A and B are shown apart, each in its own frame.
Chain A
Amino acid sequence: MSAEATAINMAARASIWLKPHRIVLILIAFALVLCAALFMRWDWLPQYWEMGLMGIWRALWILAVTSALGFALAVPLGLAQAGGPIWFSAPAKVFCTIIRGTPLLLQLWLLYYGLGSIFPQYPWIRESWLWPYLRQAWPYAVVALTFSFAGYEGEVMRGAFAGVPHGQLEAARAFGMSRWKIFRRIWLPQAFYRALPTLTGETVLQLKSTPLVATISVIDIFAVSSKVRQDTYLTYEPLLLLALIYMTITGILVFAFSRIEARIPVKIG
């Protein structure tokens, strides 16, 4: 039964794609790709593909780490703004406003060049165990991208926390749940479901922010493509391939998130 249904579904989907003008457009796109493959120079690929894979891996690693840390930071930020006392909510609001009101590139350079130039002036920092990390670029990249994600998602979480119906929280209190238990069992899960649809968009935006870390000498896939351009004097080939790589990653992300969203039952009361 269900196999039949999926077969019909597939046929319907195929018929959407196989309209005459779509076939022509797909053929044109195919011809363009073929022209690009035949007439552009791709002989640098064997030399650089290993470095490229390394760069993709690094970009994905930064994306995963900063999104996870950023979300963990966004929860208290949203909670403080939605229902916290003023001495929690005001700093959280200021933090979100500053992060959302200035370019990420500037934040990144402020941390890397600004703080990076301050740290060596203090001997106790240079002698501490943190110093080997503070001399590298990637901790600054991770911190800047984490703050950025937290700033934008904190605003979303504020709306999500505020949107959970009061009756739910009152019912939980009537059951005699402790405040922590209410937060853990009622408030956070419902707010999370509300924020989930925006999480896809935020993660894609975060992916699109990762190439900025190349400007502070972290070797991600963007930096690899810049190196190829410098070494081979080619302008378009590395950039086109780079755009294709980002589009592929975006497609995979969107697909994966839609799968996760479909798994979670939509029960927003």
Chain B
Amino acid sequence: MAPGWGGTLLVGLLHSLEIAIGATCLGLLIGTAGAFGKLYGGPVTRDLLAVYTTVVRAVPELVLILLLYYAGTDLINQVLAAMGYSRVDISGLAAGIFVLGFVQGAYSTEVIRGAILAIPQGQIEAARAYGMPPGLMLRRITLPAMLPFAIPGLANLWLIATKDTALLAVVGFFELTLATRQAAGVTKAYLLFYVAAGVLYLAVTLFSNLIIGRVEAWSRRGMPSVKEAR
């Protein structure tokens, strides 16, 4: 067993985290826009968003990743060719973030929509009564007020994102699972490396849980605690 493979795993882990963070951020952007479209958009926007969330949640991530990966890179290259540029190789990182972010967006649309619906309606009415423009109301009232309702769901999505990065191994992106497979294949120490990768993923999950607990407590500041309410 070569000593250098531990470093390879860590590089893989770093790539996994980069993609997970990027995809979660993109997913949050799509999710916020999608939730507002679903709640306040016109009938066509609503129907299109319903199709988006239903299809993405009904088709396996692996199939979506393959479809979006090929379709996305093809589309960009065709646009570039039409504009007279030469073909480019899309970096695996960008493609991975785009693909997973698109998938995450569908789930976070539903989470954020539910969270906005859980805000006491009086708060939004009060903001309107003060004459707040929609942008200010979003920033000052809707987003902070929905946060405590959205964080458990969004935290779940973050954990799913860290684990879904493993699927990019199938398209050949060098992240933790593929790094593990290469390390194991070369050294023949299969069990050791797979267990090591499992420990790394688990460490990410447990560490995230720790942070999420803190963030949740912070977002609930000033609200009556759940335990006391019982």
Contacts and interface: CB of A to CB of B under 8 A. Distances in A.
Interface of A: 19, 21-22, 25, 97-98, 100-107, 109-110, 113-118, 204, 207-212, 215, 222, 235-236, 239-240, 242-243, 246-247, 250-251
B217 to A, nearest CB: 21
Contact of A25 (B44, B167, B190, B197): B44
A98 B67 CA distance: 30
A251 B206 CA distance: 34
A235 B70 contact: yes
A22 B51 CA distance: 12
B121 to A, nearest CB: 25
B194 A106 contact: yes
A101 B195 contact: no
A229 to B, nearest CB: 9
Contacts of B58: 204, 246-247, 250-251
5 contacts: A102-B205, A106-B180, A114-B195, A117-B190, A207-B60
Given A19-B43, A101-B205, A113 B66 contact: no
A110 B60 contact: no
Given A102-B163, A106-B201, A110-B194, A215 B170 contact: yes
A100 B160 CA distance: 9
A118 B191 contact: yes
Query: What is the interface of chain B mostly: helix, strand, loop, or mixed?
Result: helix
B76 interface: no
B59 A105 contact: no
Interface string B30-59: 000000000000011001100000010111
A236 B164 CA distance: 22
Query: What is the interface of chain A mostly: helix, strand, loop, or mixed?
Result: helix
B44 A105 contact: no
Contacts of A222: 60, 62-63
Contacts of B164: 103
Interface of B: 43-44, 47-48, 55, 57-64, 66-67, 70-71, 74, 159, 163-167, 169-170, 177, 180-181, 184, 188, 190-191, 194-195, 197-198, 201-202, 205-206
B43 A21 contact: yes
Contacts of B66: 239
Given A105-B169, A106-B197, A114 B60 contact: no
Contacts of B55: 243, 247
**Residue among A100, A114, A116, A247 with most chain B CB within 10 A:** A114
Given A110-B194, A114-B190, 16 more contacts: A98-B198, A100-B205, A101-B205, A103-B177, A105-B166, A110-B195, A113-B181, A114-B191, A114-B194, A115-B191, A204-B58, A207-B60, A208-B61, A236-B71, A246-B59, A250-B59
B66 to A, nearest CB: 6
A106 to B, nearest CB: 5
